[in-house]
Structure 1
Amino acid sequence: MGAQALLNSLVRYKASANGDLLDALAGLDGAPAAEYGAALRVLHHAHIVDRIFLAHLQRTGHAYDKSWSAETPPLDRLAADIRETDRWYVDHVARLRPDELDEVIDFSFTDGARGRMSREEMVAHVVTHAGYHRGEVGRLLPEIGERASRDVFAGYLHRSDPARRA
């Protein structure tokens, strides 16, 4: 499997895992406010980073001066934004040519420090960063009132392609 195929699988997995987690959170009526709010703040942070790197991949500016926000949107709006951004990544990676994966892009981090990464590295960063924070929210879920979802790449691959079990 080449990098293109792997990145395609990883961004589809990210979108699927985000969707599962957002659906779990949407079903939590009367959840403890502190833990629920913490889960939304963590997901919002991951989403902001996704949007920042989306701008870097497009070689455009963005309006973020930090990767956290004091204001967390309500779950329905945050979920819609996350799903839209995940669709962008799935479509973007599917359209990338192999030579574009190696393209190095110069950018600035939100603290003003300079950065330089290939498109391939940026997509890998977005996928791994989001996974880290989904794990953080997954740890909070039992405290909120929901069992943690099984957020593993191998499980996604076998659910999305049942022939792998044959």
Structure 2
Amino acid sequence: MKTIKRMFEHQMWADRRLVDAVRQSGGGSQELLRLFRHVEIAEQVWITRLNGRSTAHLQLWADDADLDSIEALLASNEQQYRTYLAELTEEQLDADLTYANQSGVEFRTPIRDILTHVALHGQYHRGQINRMLREAGGEPRPLDYIVFAREWDL
């Protein structure tokens, strides 16, 4: 449980740092914002499922992304994951969650695997966003877990 909670602390730290980097670069391209929105919507999809609600109304990809709405979604996700993780027990981690994906196909997956996926999915896309920042002349942020761990322990 401690490792999963720490992975989510890293995720939240990295998301906030990336928002700052995009804002300082001038707001990012539409492609960058579309990808960043996808990261935050995917996190919303999973916390919604974990809370037993349907995600059919959530669109994983959209072209109308803007940094302010991404930041608001990030804050909402952070609060929801903190609440969820605070109430989750070690025993519940191995329980299966039955849910439908965005196409309506039903799956059954252990909560531990879902939470691990959420943390790793965002890491992959944050690397892509950092690359886009660099290509546009912006300054990418170091988001590696070890950087987080060093700062966290200060």
Structure-1-length-normalised TM-score: 0.85
- Residue of structure 2 aligned with 1:28, choices 1, 10, 25: 25
- Does residue 143 of the first structure (1) align with residue 135 of the second (2)? yes
CA displacement at 1:7 relative to structure 2: 0.6
The alignment partner of 2:31 has SS state of helix
- The match for 2:95 is 103
- Paired AA for residue 74 in structure 2: I
Which segments of 5 or more consecutive residues in structure 1 lack a partner in the other structure? none
- Residue of structure 2 aligned with 1:38, choices 12, 27, 31: 31
Which segments of 5 or more consecutive residues in structure 2 lack a partner in the other structure? none
In 1: Cα distance, 2:46 partner to 2:108 partner = 12
- Residue of structure 2 aligned with 1:152, choices 129, 133, 144: 144
CA displacement at 1:6 relative to structure 2: 0.3
- The match for 1:47 is 40
In 1: Cα distance, 2:101 partner to 2:93 partner = 20
Identity %: 21
Count of residue correspondences: 154
Q: How does 1:17-96 map to 2 (within 5 A)?
A: 17-29=14-26, 36-64=29-57, 66-72=59-65, 74-96=66-88
| Counterpart contact for 1:141–1:147, Cα < 8 Å | yes
| Counterpart contact for 1:107–1:114, Cα < 8 Å | yes
- Paired AA for residue 30 in structure 2: G
- Paired AA for residue 161 in structure 1: D
Q: Give the CA RMSD over aligned residues.
A: 1.6
CA displacement at 1:144 relative to structure 2: 2.3
Structure-2-length-normalised TM-score: 0.92
In 1: Cα distance, 2:8 partner to 2:144 partner = 13
Q: Looking at CA atoms only, which structure, 1 or 2, has the larger radius of gyration?
A: 1
Q: Deviations over 1:137-158 (max 9, x none)?
A: 0110112222221111111111
TM superposition outliers: structure 1 runs of 4+ over 4 Å = none
